[in-house]
Amino acid sequence: MSTLKAIINEHIEWRRQILKLAKADITKTYSGAALGWAWALIKPSMTIAVFWFAFTYGLRGGGPVNGFPFILWMIPGFSAWFFMSDMITGGTNAIRKYRYLVTKMKFPVSTIPTFVALAQLALHIGLLLIVILIFIGTGHFPTLYWLQIPFYMFFMLMFFIFWAMFSSMLGAMSRDWQNLIKAIKQPIFWMSGILWDVNKITIPWLQKLLYFNPVTYFATGYRNCFIYDTWFWEEPLQLGIFMGMLVVMVLAGFWSYRKLIREIPDVL
């Protein structure tokens, strides 16, 4: 409990600096590049184009879903994945990347995952605006269901802040952890239904198992807004299981933080 209080206090006291650091985190990545901000969009666009091509013409699996062309079906889930993908590895590297804050000055380490996640969120929102433009441009106008995008976005942010707290501590302790996470990112991508429709799985236990995967939950959640016209409360089982997973992640984050916060400065 005291840890929680300390973390909250640190966030309140340093809120100004958290925003500045998030801003610096973004500018750092893109300043100095000739195309600057455009890179934030070029990278995801390329990926989506390649997968769309492979699935539509190569594997011939990509037929229309729910009346939407396959590429439009793909985009919302994929845009969520870009955020999650960057958080899975970027979150793990967060403390190492900002080691100068940990080892050279007094700085609340618990805020590092937060501002790293906020920086990613800003890019994610930019990408999502493009997605919305694409939908409108192709004649799919906003529906009431789009209103729940902030709901999924908020919980995705929360989940991955706690993930980053958990993982960046371990990542700072050992490079093995970083490599492990890098290695399992690809499997996570292919197993989570970013590229295929989870609802089409015919093996019931496998489908149930995927409910426990938060990555699936968010990718499907974004599609619920754009494609399936489903409210989040219409899938209570998935919602309940996700909330359970969130609690697990929060506890893991606290555990890792409490256990390692005093050791991190000595090993970096």
Partner 1 sequence: MKKDIIIDFNHVTKRFKLYKNDKKRLLGVFSKKVPYKEKLAVRDVTFQVARGETVAFFGRNGAGKSTILKMITGVSYPTKGTIDVRGRVSALLELTSGFDPELTGRENIFLKGQLCGLLDDEIKSLEDEIIEFADIGEYIDQPVRTYSSGMRARLGFAVNVNIRPEILIVDEALSVGDKEFRSKCLDRVNEVIENDNVTLLFVTHSTSTAKQFCKRGIYLVNGQLKYDGDIDQAIALYEDAGKAAKRRRRAKKELALAEAEFARTGSEEARLKMEEAQKKLDKARAMIRELNKVGSEQ
Residues 22-61 contacting partner 1, CB under 8 A: 24, 28, 32
- Of these, 174, 234, 244, 251, which contacts partner 1 (CB under 8 A)? 174
Residue 177 makes contact with partner 1 by CB under 8 A: yes
- Return the range that interacts with partner 1 (CB under 8 A); candidates 77-85, 104-112, 153-161, 185-193: 104-112
Q: Could you give the angle at the alpha carbon of 110 between the alpha carbons of 104 and 116, nearest 5°? A: 90
Cα gap 56→191, rounded to integer Å: 20
Q: Interface residues for partner 1 in 105-124 (CB under 8 A)?
A: 105-107
Q: How many residues does the chain have?
A: 268
Residue 103 engages partner 1 in binding (rule: CB under 8 A): yes
Q: Do the Cβ atoms of 45 and 187 come closer than 8 Å? A: no
Minimum gap (Å) between residue 21 Cβ and partner 1: 8
**Binding span for partner 1 by CB under 8 A among 16-24, 41-49, 153-161, 241-249:** 16-24
Structure token digits, residue 189: 């991508």
Give, in order, the Cα–Cα distances in Å from 46 to each of 41, 52, 138, 182.
Answer: 9, 10, 19, 21
263 binds partner 1 (CB under 8 A): yes
101 interacts with partner 1 by CB under 8 A: yes
User: Is there binding between residue 252 and partner 1 (CB under 8 A)?
Assistant: no
Among 104, 138, 150, 208, binds partner 1 (CB under 8 A): 104
15 binds partner 1 per the rule CB under 8 A: no
Site membership for partner 1, residue 16 (CB under 8 A): yes
The only residue of 40, 170, 181, 210 in contact with partner 1, by rule CB under 8 A: 170
Q: Which residue, 35 or 267, is less far from partner 1 as judged by CB?
A: 267
207 and 233 Cβ atoms separated by less than 8 Å:
no
Q: Does 176 bind partner 1 (CB under 8 A)?
A: yes
Binding site for partner 1 (CB under 8 A): 16-17, 20-21, 24, 28, 32, 100-107, 170, 173-177, 259-260, 262-263, 265-267
